[in-house]
Amino acid sequence: MKKIGVLDIQGSVEEHFAILDSISKDRFEPVLVKTIEDINGLSGLVLPGGESTAIDSLLQKYNLDNEIVSQAKNGMFVWGTCAGAIILSELGLIDIGIERNAYGGQLHSFETELEFNGKKIPGVFIRAPKINRVGEGVEILSKHDGGAVAVRKNNILVTTFHPELTDNITVHEYFVEMCL
């Protein structure tokens, strides 16, 4: 059975895992990913939100960054939420410009309604980054205040908000369908 992993380093790991588990329905097996070996053979990998500097240094320490890049270049699907979005852009896996904490600090965290790929969903933004540039061929799947908040190019999906902190499964289902 195909496997979809959640990077288990820091951040909203359990929340992503719980939603994937609830929608897996014998279509795929959700797994937690801590090591290079865990990445091997995955159809897809979710990079949760959290603190991008902490995630980044642990990725480097365990050499997971190089493995994620090489597997993504081999076609593994990767979805980064919030800090995970920052990591994807730092790893050069998607050509976007991203500005950390661009809405301000914790007090400027907010929830709003978004339209994602034609569906209304709640958007939870927590010390979120802003996408300030989208490269060629990057598809915009959702916008807030005129700026892109969900983008995709080929096998890479980025959301600057946190679908895993709501009970709406639209974006998880979208990613699963990419992977299957």
What token pair was written down for 28? 């795929």
x/- string (CB under 6 A) for ligand GLN, residues 134-173? ----------------------------------------
164 catalytically annotated = yes
x/- string (CB under 6 A) for ligand GLN, residues 58-97? ------------------------xx--x-----------
82 catalytically annotated = yes
d(CA 180, CA 171): 14
x/- string (CB under 6 A) for ligand GLN, residues 16-55? ---------------------------------xxxx---
179 catalytically annotated = no
**How many Cβ atoms from other residues are within 10 Å of residue 75's Cβ?**
9
H or E segment at 36? Answer: helix 36-39
Q: In the complex, what is the shortest distance from the CB of residue 159 to ligand GLN, in angstroms, rounded to a whole number?
A: 10
- Measured over all CA atoms, what is the biggest interatomic distance in the chain, rounded to whole angstroms? 43
Q: Are 150 and 140 in contact (CB under 8 A)?
A: yes
Class of residue 118 by CB neighbours under 10 A (exposed 0-12, middle 13-18, buried 19+): exposed
Give me the residues that bind ligand GLN (CB under 6 A), please: 49-52, 82-83, 86, 100-101, 126-127
Q: Which residues are catalytic?
A: 82, 162, 164
